[in-house]
Amino acid sequence: MKKTRAVITGVHGWVPEYVLTNRELETMVDTNDEWIVTRTGIKERRILKGENQGTSVIGINAIKGLLKKTNTDPEDIDLIICATVTPDMPFPATANIIADGVGAKNSFSFDISAACSGFLYALTMGSQFIETGMHKKVIVVGADKMSSIIDYQDRATCIIFGDGGGAVLLEPTEEEVGVMDSMLKSDGSGAPYLHMKAGGSRRPATIESVNAREHFAFQEGSTVFKFAVTNMADVSAKIMEKNNLKSEDIAWLVPHQANKRIIDATANRMGVGPDKVMLNIERYGNTTAGTLPLCLWDYEPQLKKGDNIILAAFGGGFTWGSIYLKWGYDGAK
């Protein structure tokens, strides 16, 4: 009997309209365009403005576009998994709000918290729901409104992040395409270097915690950078080795868009040239769980059925990992 795999049958992204440029950041913190571009590769990022606009807005818009382009009835969706670290609220899950917003009345839905690796975790899990044969249409959405947890007085962190996300539709196939392999890792001892100090059950919000600016993402950038470079490159090289893939077999590397220097190091380690690396960090910055589906959406017109694609990410937790997939269709839908 042939193995049932999960294949991506459509991808769609969404970013808010407001563009926060490096020039505007220069008016907010002591920084400059040249420093930001040289150290990170980022020129601008999108910000979701307005009252009551949470991460669900990003997810709903991405999924509405996905349903339209794949001609899918929302009532046929079995499951929606949302990867995010900026949920609309601690509970209910943002995925529930998204499912309601897109009319996915027959689906169940839940969130995954794995920071910048969230989309990899969610894609792995979504694929397994398909592989069991129990579900036919699963949507995996990675979305973050990072501006809601960024301290725009912290110049080392605020320059990196932006808002946005994207979604993919997974369906079963017996062809030799789809999600082929996945390697996921986590190490909780990395928490001190990238976390939010207050607002959880350990230290609920108080006037003091708000005044001390503890409800923002805290990052020890240079430590995170070192771990990210090593682990993202290692896991990408390992998944290639495990699947007998040489660099010339790889059509695309889809790296988490955190820092252009981390992306370059991963591509070098894999022996993959810059023409095969998906890159949109200069326009969107780091959208956390949103970066990988946003890349797939941007590059969809160039993808071909059977392309070998390696997705790789590193983020808070620490979490990191890699997915090997074979693309399922030619060009944009």
Ligand X SMILES: CC(C)(COP(=O)(O)OP(=O)(O)OC[C@H]1O[C@@H](n2cnc3c(N)ncnc32)[C@H](O)[C@@H]1OP(=O)(O)O)[C@@H](O)C(=O)NCCC(=O)NCCS
Where in the sequence numbering do the catalytic residues fall?
Answer: 116, 256, 286
For position 231 contacting ligand X by CB under 6 A, the verdict is: no
For position 69 contacting ligand X by CB under 6 A, the verdict is: no
Beta-bridge partner residues of 277: 253
Question: What is the residue-wise DSSP string for 261-280?
Answer: HHHHHHHHHHT--GGGB---
256/16 Cα distance (integer angstroms):
19
Q: 248 vs 55, 245, 272, 296, CA distance in Å?
A: 38, 8, 8, 20
Please identify, using beta-carbon distances, which residue of 65 and 255 lies nearer to ligand X.
255
CB of 68 to ligand X, least distance (A): 31
Please identify, using beta-carbon distances, which residue of 42 and 169 lies nearer to ligand X.
42
Contact 107, 78 (CB under 8 A): yes
Contact 174, 116 (CB under 8 A): no
CB of 159 to ligand X, least distance (A): 5
Size, binding site for ligand X by CB under 6 A? 19
| Residue range at the interface with ligand X (CB under 6 A); choices 28-36, 54-62, 72-80, 81-89 | 28-36
Please identify, using beta-carbon distances, which residue of 156 and 184 lies nearer to ligand X.
156
HSE (CB half, 13 Å, CA atoms) of 248? 0
For position 233 contacting ligand X by CB under 6 A, the verdict is: no
Which residue from 69, 155, 185, 333 is in contact with ligand X, where contact means CB under 6 A?
155
Give, as ranges, the residues between 239 and 298 that touch ligand X (CB under 6 A): 258-259, 262, 286
CB of 291 to ligand X, least distance (A): 9
Query: What amino acid occupies position 273?
Result: G
- Token look-up 């991808």 returns 11
For position 159 contacting ligand X by CB under 6 A, the verdict is: yes
3-state helix, strand, coil in the chain (%, to 5): 40, 25, 35
Residues that bind ligand X (CB under 6 A): 31, 35-36, 39-40, 116, 155-156, 159, 221-222, 224-225, 228, 258-259, 262, 286, 315
